Amino acid sequence: MKDLSYEAVLARNNEIMSKAMGIDYGAFEISPLAFDYEGLMNKAGYFLEVVQAIQRKAGVGNTPLLELRNLTALVRTYARPGKGARILVKDEAANPSGSFKDRRASVSVYHAKKNGYPGVIAATSGNYGAAVASQAAMMGLKCIIVQEVYDSKRIGQPEIIEKTRKCEALGAEVVQLTVGPELFYLSLRLLEETGFFNASLYSPLGISGTETLGYEIATQVRERYGKEPAAVITTHAGGGNVTGTARGLLKAGCTNTSMVGVSVDLTGLHMASDIDFNRKSFTTGHTGFSVPFTTWPDRSDVPRSAARPLRYLDRYVTVTQGEVFYVTQALSEVEGMERGPAGNTSLAAALAIAAEYDQDDIIVVQETEYTGAGKHPMAQLNFAKSMGVEVRRGDPDDNVPGRVIVIPQRFEQLHVTEHSLDKLRWSYIRKAVENSGMSCLTNVEVKFLAGETRTSEDWVTGVLKELGVQLAL
């Protein structure tokens, strides 16, 4: 009998993950700090043409690219003369389970089936669970989804409960947990007991699956408008969305397209806090995920995350909860499209950013997602009120995460808050050095950190000297 204590199971993490994914991450390690990222992607992922074939067979991808003419016209009413870029949205709600996560799940589930795994497991409270369940059903594999649903009083957010419903409707067994450290522990136990495949969000397979999204955006914009998008605006959480889309754009030759990451500002709320868990109205695409995963990607359920957002971000901005709710309703009433909240996070930013660009420029909102009763703004806002959060109209700058949600009164109040990528890069380098345990870095580590942060080796060296790190260059 194996020791099933928390400490013992976590100590077997690498052994369990190796069996559950079939990837020898050690083969790509260069030093305690550096690893061969492109080697990992090329050898453990799938090439674009293979992914496209997998997704065509599964009914994933080739989703519509829709022009938001009415919202574009609204932006131009208050933008400076000649400004107000054409806004397009990639309608990923057209995928089988209703989100872009089908792209990530399709490759992982295909790989599991191909390699003889009896089923798949994913730990997620988001759309990814439904995507894995959907793809597993197509492939005839069993599926277990592990979710954090409740606080200690057994109160659950309507959005997460809706996703539980969808996963179960697609044939998955859903294991519901209260917020806390048991999510990772129980996932490891289930992987060990069942011999199922770990359909991780952060594997090379999942990132390969998202590359087709960026590639399609580039191809569709070129075919229709004869140019590249000036910017692609992407909701940013754990980094896979940004990473996969950006890699696809680059593979399509879009070297001048700006990659903008957007998160809902939930500053001050701790995602593992029992008190804060139900005082946020967004379960993904917020700063509680994006900042920690940007500054340390390898906090995920795999030894080395394939989601490395600092390699690809050109700009990082936040919006408020109230602005996203406002834009969700605007999309419904102005464009006749009722979609869920995650994609509307990037749309909220796009409506502000479009005013910066010329009218003949094109910006693309990278995704939409399906909506349902629990994901509807009214369900979320009513739940927020029941948790003691004040909801009112006014200036969105008056939002206080966990305490006050302010819905804008006018369209032109929509705006973004800029965040310094250099500050995030500095934090990443500090954590990389601390977590590696290395006391002296060489040119190998400096070159790796420059690639990780999309900066120069001189810039990295300057940061390391500020941090007091010993160098042997």
pLDDT by residue (tens digit) across 236-294?
Answer: 999 999 999 999 999 999 999 999 999 999 999 988 889 999 999 988 899 999 999 99
Question: Are 89 and 347 in contact, with CB atoms under 8 Å apart?
Answer: yes
pLDDT at 42 over 90: yes
Look at residue 430 in the predicted model and tell me its pLDDT.
98
Distance CA 158, CA 184 (A): 23
Rounded to an integer, the average pLDDT of 98-120 is: 97
DSSP for 75-141, please give it.
HHHHSPTTB--EEEEE-GGGSTTSSTHHHHHHHHHHHHHHTT-SEEEEE-SSHHHHHHHHHHHHHT-
Rounded to an integer, the average pLDDT of 332-356 is: 94
pLDDT per residue over 210-243, tens digit each? 999 999 999 999 999 999 999 999 999 999 999 9
H or E stretch at 395: none
Residue 396 or residue 284, greater confidence: 396
pLDDT at 333 over 90: yes
pLDDT at 170 over 90: yes
pLDDT per residue over 437-451, tens digit each? 999 999 999 999 999
User: Where along the chain do its domains lie?
Assistant: 54-97+205-419, 429-472
Q: Within a 10 A sphere around the Cβ of 303, how many other Cβ atoms?
A: 19
Sign, CA torsion 310/312/317/323? negative
Distance CA 316, CA 294 (A): 11
Chain mean pLDDT for the chain: 95
Q: Could you name the CATH architecture of 54-97+205-419?
A: 3-Layer(aba) Sandwich (3.40)
Question: Are 135 and 101 in contact, with CB atoms under 8 Å apart?
Answer: no
Look at residue 2 in the predicted model and tell me its pLDDT.
87
